[in-house]
């Protein structure tokens, strides 16, 4: 499998670029995700021109428009960092990134929950790092996460799922983005989208139904914007259960009474939180193979990412 290009804060790969010349190597990122992702490493502070080691910095001012300032000497690096970021974006646009993993809590790289020291003296935790913030504005469709959230199983799953969908979207666009291919793309992602947001699945369906009314650019940007918005919503147990029951319906006439009972029991046990999602999914995949079920075998919901990533394994 071709590796997927993902941007990453350099220190998470073990590069000694932090203010104290240390790193924040994350083994899960480097060893597990590294088997599938090709990293594009970015350290805003060093690439902007600061030395290693250097004086530490923090955010000060209003939480929605803070400044990046050195802690002891009070030097303001906001403008310089923003200028550098704009140049860097031109470079990153060529990289075709399908995701970005940021270092949490960093005044430069953080994407949420960064401390901002306000005039009241009380830090607010509503800040966004200077580079992380402008990156999300410049690349609103690229899935992002930080290393803190990456260790929450459902947020991790959600991020990785979006990365793989975004990669497939880029492949679809490279093939020309034809309406007939968009219909196939949409059909093959049906169960996956439903597991996140039935509302977005229906809105996307309406967009495709009227596809010929739009210019291709409008259709593509409208579709991917809505799709990413829907996929950001967490696939809850309730939504997954509905999708599993829907998939089980394809075997109504094919399974024996015992097999049907067993499949419904497995789905019910997942619904009650006794077993992880991977269990009913594996059983459904078994029946898909056994009966060569043509519709389900193309559904990305049953194979959204490599099994080796051990996602969907938590109850």
Residues that bind ligand SF4 (CB under 6 A): 9-11, 17-18, 43-46, 103, 106, 108-109
- Could you say which DSSP state residue 263 is in? H
**Residue 302 near residue 248, CB atoms below 8 Å:** no
Query: How far apart are CB 14 and ligand SF4 at their closest, in Å?
Result: 11
Give how far Cα 140 sits from Cα of 34, 200, 221, 298, Å: 24, 18, 12, 28
Query: How far apart are CB 68 and ligand SF4 at their closest, in Å?
Result: 10
Query: How far apart are CB 71 and ligand SF4 at their closest, in Å?
Result: 14
Nearer to ligand SF4, 42 or 263 (CB): 42
Nearer to ligand SF4, 20 or 93 (CB): 20
Nearer to ligand SF4, 114 or 194 (CB): 114
- What are the structure tokens assigned to 77, written together? 């690096």
**Residue 95 near residue 7, CB atoms below 8 Å:** yes
- Could you say which DSSP state residue 37 is in? E
Nearer to ligand SF4, 104 or 197 (CB): 104
Give how far Cα 261 sits from Cα of 256, 266, 279, Å: 9, 9, 15
As a whole number of angstroms, the distance between CA 237 and CA 243 comes to 10
Query: How far apart are CB 67 and ligand SF4 at their closest, in Å?
Result: 16
Nearer to ligand SF4, 43 or 228 (CB): 43
Query: How far apart are CB 217 and ligand SF4 at their closest, in Å?
Result: 34
Query: How far apart are CB 117 and ligand SF4 at their closest, in Å?
Result: 18
As a whole number of angstroms, the distance between CA 138 and CA 247 comes to 38
Give the pairing type, strands 144-146 and 100-102: parallel
Nearer to ligand SF4, 45 or 161 (CB): 45
**Residue 36 near residue 309, CB atoms below 8 Å:** yes
**Residue 205 near residue 186, CB atoms below 8 Å:** yes
As a whole number of angstroms, the distance between CA 7 and CA 167 comes to 14
């Amino acid at each position: 499998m071709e590796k997927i290009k993902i941007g990453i804060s350099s220190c998470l790969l073990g590069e000694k670029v932090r203010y104290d010349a240390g790193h924040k190597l994350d083994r899960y990122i480097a060893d597990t995700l590294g088997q599938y992702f090709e990293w594009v490493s970015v350290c805003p502070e060093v690439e902007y021109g600061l030395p290693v080691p250097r004086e530490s910095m923090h955010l000060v001012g209003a939480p929605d428009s803070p400044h990046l300032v050195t802690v002891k000497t009070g030097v303001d690096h906001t403008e310089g960092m923003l200028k550098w970021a704009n140049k860097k974006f031109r470079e990153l646009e060529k990289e075709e990134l399908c995701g970005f993993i940021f270092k949490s809590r960093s005044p430069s790289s953080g994407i949420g929950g960064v401390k901002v020291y306000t005039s009241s003296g009380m830090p607010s935790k509503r800040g966004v790092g200077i580079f992380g913030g402008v990156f999300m504005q410049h690349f609103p469709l690229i899935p992002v996460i930080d290393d803190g959230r990456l260790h929450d199983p459902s947020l991790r799953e959600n991020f990785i799922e979006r990365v793989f969908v975004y990669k497939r979207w880029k492949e679809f666009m490279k093939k020309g983005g034809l309406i007939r291919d968009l219909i196939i793309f949409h059909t093959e992602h049906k169960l996956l989208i439903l597991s996140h947001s039935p509302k977005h699945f229906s809105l996307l369906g309406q967009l495709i139904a009227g596809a010929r009314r739009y210019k291709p650019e409008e259709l593509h940007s409208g579709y991917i914007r809505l799709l990413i918005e829907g996929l950001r919503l967490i696939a809850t147990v309730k939504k997954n259960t509905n999708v599993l029951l829907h998939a089980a319906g394809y075997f109504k006439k094919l399974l024996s009474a015992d097999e049907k009972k067993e499949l419904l029991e497995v789905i019910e046990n997942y619904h009650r939180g006794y077993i992880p999602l991977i269990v009913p999914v594996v059983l459904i995949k078994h029946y898909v193979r056994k009966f060569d079920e043509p519709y389900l075998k193309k559904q990305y919901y049953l194979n959204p990412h490599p099994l080796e990533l051990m996602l969907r394994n938590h109850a």
